[in-house]
Amino acid sequence: MRRLMAANWKMYKTSEEAAATIEHLSKLLGGSAPAGSEILVFAPFTALEAAAAAMRSLQGGYIGAQNMYPAENGAFTGEISPDMIRAAGASWVLVGHSERRHLLGENDEFIGNKLRFALEKGLDVMLCVGETLQERENGEVSAVLERQLSRALTEVPETAIAHLAVAYEPVWAIGTGRSAGPEDIMKAHTLAANLLEKHFGRVREVPLLYGGSVKPENAATILALDNVDGVLVGGASLQAESFTKIVTA
Ligand code: 13P
């Protein structure tokens, strides 16, 4: 399984800052991602073009957008289409991030629409799933993962497998400094792995990433767990030094 080391920059960095961070990252890594790994940077829309240009200096590095709207074009004020994202030099998109589910009210159906449309338009998609603290305390982790995955993957064909990744990001671990423990991560990833195998009816080829307070100090432990094929990093990806430590963990 290929390893995906992903940075989600959220609403941080101008285009200049994004390019400078990627150039720095490339320098620290000697111009290429570690063997067997791909590096993904999900940058703000306004920085996509500059980030993609800077990423040419890093072999095995790719740029993604953090969101998109599931239509070709049209009267959707403030939204961005997959074609626009691709034209800016990005090849990936995040779909279903918990901040969009919970702060911006996106539901499973809308997320499913985005996922299918992005794949149709030739983007690689990282689908984010994960439970809230309340749902965890109610013992609903498996029900939530099953619901989020099955609704997002409705009518997603087997041919999409090579263009899909799933990130498990428990909402209570995002930006809190409190990463999920190895047991919790393994349980959730085993569950997600089984659901993916069931959905596509074959041995899992879709990379499964963990996200939520990943730092240089805990990255190696998390990456060594079964069914963990990479990490999706917020805060600790903003500085090239700390993200490099994670990428090389
Ligand atoms: P933090 O690494 O800052 O907890 O953010 C995780 C995340 O939301 C990545 O998508």
Q: What is the pLDDT of residue 97?
A: 98
Tally Cβ neighbours within 10 Å of residue 91: 17
In angstroms, what is the span from residue 242 Cα to ligand 1's centroid?
Answer: 14
CA dist 165 and 27 (Å) reads: 27
Q: Is the CB of 211 under 6 A from ligand 1?
A: yes
Sorted by where each begins, the domain ranges of the chain are 3-247
Q: Is the CB of 233 under 6 A from ligand 1?
A: yes
- Shortest-distance atom of ligand 1 to CA 213: 4
CA dist 41 and 33 (Å) reads: 12
In angstroms, what is the span from residue 213 Cα to ligand 1's centroid?
Answer: 6
10-residue mean pLDDT series, the chain (249 residues) = 96 98 98 97 98 98 98 97 98 97 95 97 98 94 96 91 96 89 95 94 93 97 96 98 97
**Model's pTM, two decimal places?**
0.97
- Shortest-distance atom of ligand 1 to CA 10: 10
Instruction: Identify whether the C-beta of residue 22 lies closer than 8 Å to the C-beta of residue 41.
Output: yes
CA dist 30 and 149 (Å) reads: 37
CA dist 49 and 58 (Å) reads: 15
Helix (H) and strand (E) counts for the chain? 10, 8
The encoded tokens of residue 54 equal 């800077």
Q: What is the pLDDT of residue 178?
A: 86
CA 14 to chain centre: 20
In angstroms, what is the span from residue 234 Cα to ligand 1's centroid?
Answer: 4
Helical ranges in the chain per DSSP H: 15-28, 48-55, 82-87, 98-102, 108-120, 133-137, 141-153, 182-200, 219-223, 240-247
Q: DSSP assignment, residue 132? A: -
Q: Is the CB of 232 under 6 A from ligand 1?
A: yes
Instruction: Quickly name the fold that domain 3-247 has.
Output: TIM Barrel (3.20.20)
Helix (H/G/I), strand (E/B), else coil: 236: helix
Q: Which residue, chain included where needed, has tokens 């629409």? A: 113
